[in-house]
Amino acid sequence: MNSLRPYILLLFLIFGLQQIQSQSYHFKTSGFSVLEKNERGKWGEWSNLDLVNLSVVLDTNKHRIVVYSQEIQLYSILDYIEREENDTDIVYSFMCKDNDGKECKLSIITRKKQDYRKQLYINYDDHIIVYNIITV
């Protein structure tokens, strides 16, 4: 039994290191809404919440966020912004480029005072998309 102990320890270390290196976070969406600027450059109102069940993956190994909608939305992470926290929110933000090469800011926000509800915001200069998400 003592001769097996080093091998068992080695197996635990190998599986533990694989878990540490795979930094992939999976979410499901439950709905989305869009906010757009009008012709005067003023923000309008949020659209009605549309129910949608999509997969979202944050993959820090590949430095990307993917929203698996009918047309796959691929956001390459250019920069990881320092985590922010206040009395109401916990915010993880990323500066990204989308499929078309446009820069945008993605933020995963946890609403502390709303039962820790999570949302994914995709911020462009002229519009914002928000998805309600849950961790899977």
Helices (H), 22-69: none
132 contacts 50 by C-beta, under 8 angstroms: no
Residue 13 has pLDDT above 50, yes or no: no
Taking Cα atoms as reference points, which of 78, 94, 88, 83 lies closest to residue 115? 88
Q: Calculate the dihedral angle through the C-alpha atoms of 38, 41, 42, 47, rounding to the nearest 10 degrees.
A: 40
What pLDDT score does 62 carry?
96
What pLDDT score does 3 carry?
60
